[in-house]
Structure 1
Amino acid sequence: MNKKSVRTVNFAERIKAKLPALLVLAVVVGGAWVMINEATKTSGPEAKVAVKVPAFSAVGQQGAIAYAANCAACHGANGSGGDGGPPLVHKIYNPGHHADGAFFLALQRGVSQHHWRFGNMPPQPQVSAGDTKAIIAYVRELQTANGIGYQPHRMQ
């Protein structure tokens, strides 16, 4: 056997030996891409959800008014999602993943884009602490009415 054919055989054997690992890597990368792509869609029906509207508590009713004035332009009517922001009636925003404090901080400081491709959310200084509490109650009541409850967050 000449040197060229020995190199070809060695190369083929090395590829053959690494093929299972390469296939596993391709499946993992492909699966991760699909999961990330599904979680970050911002256009079409995936970025908007149908929302069942419950009878609200007194605080929830106040939150509905504050939400309509400050949030609905981006996040859609009843937290269903809009062209400028994601749906808040979504499992990503369950209290185990986004606690009430996350909503307070989002309104006070703004939020860097992280789950969706809508861009960064600017701070909303015009929203008072009382209105923030009412908005959170409103969103949580909407979530509950739509089957979204506390789910422990697991780092992936």
Structure 2
Amino acid sequence: MNKTLSAVAAALVLAAGAYYLTAPQEQTLPDAPVEGDALVAITVPESLTPEATMGQRAFDATCAACHGENATGRRGFGPPLVHRIYEPSHHSDMAFQLAVQNGVRAHHWKFGDMPPQSGLTPSDVANIVAYVRELQRANGIE
């Protein structure tokens, strides 16, 4: 009887071990980056100028799908514009106008080319730039 009980116990241990080893395991870490996550953390200014406020609305409607909420970028979609690469001495306000009008070949990031954006006037883009520049200044990018 002892041998039978031992054999049953051993079989149960083996079955439990096999189940544990073959059962689906949670593979996602709580802090693992996920496609669509913001690429940078920023400080948002307490208030915006009227031009930047209009720019924020236009940005949210047209640009945020790729460049993220508050221009923080989106993993797998587009780069953050609140980044030293886009400081005014490297990417002028006119560079934003040209990017919207003509699109941009990928050159700083590996997100692929940015297509031209339709439905934005030069005035809309100027307001978007005002918004981005205010975000940049609030984060030490001059």
Fold match by TM threshold 0.5: yes
CA distance in 2, matches of 1:58, 1:52: 19
In structure 2, the partner of 1:20 is: none
- Aligned-partner SS, 1:62: helix
* Structure 1 residue 127: Cα displacement: 1.0
CA distance in 1, matches of 2:68, 2:132: 12
Q: Select the structure of larger CA radius of gyration.
A: 2
- Aligned-partner SS, 1:127: coil
1:22-58: CA deviations, max 9, x gaps?
A: xxxxxxxxxxxxxxxxxxxxxx59x711111111000
CA distance in 2, matches of 1:126, 1:106: 14
* Ranges in structure 2 where 5+ consecutive residues have no aligned partner: 1-32
* Ranges in structure 1 where 5+ consecutive residues have no aligned partner: 1-43, 150-156
The RMSD of aligned alpha carbons is 1.6
Which has the larger share of helix?
1
In structure 2, the partner of 1:64 is: 56
Normalising by structure 1, we get a TM-score of: 0.65
CA distance in 2, matches of 1:103, 1:79: 13
Letter in 2 for 1:70: T
Alignment coverage as a number of residue pairs: 106
Letter in 1 for 2:43: K
> Does 2:100 correspond to 1:107?
yes
The percent of aligned pairs where both chains have the same amino acid is 54
In structure 1, the partner of 2:133 is: 140
* TM superposition outliers: structure 1 runs of 4+ over 4 Å: none
Normalising by structure 2, we get a TM-score of: 0.72
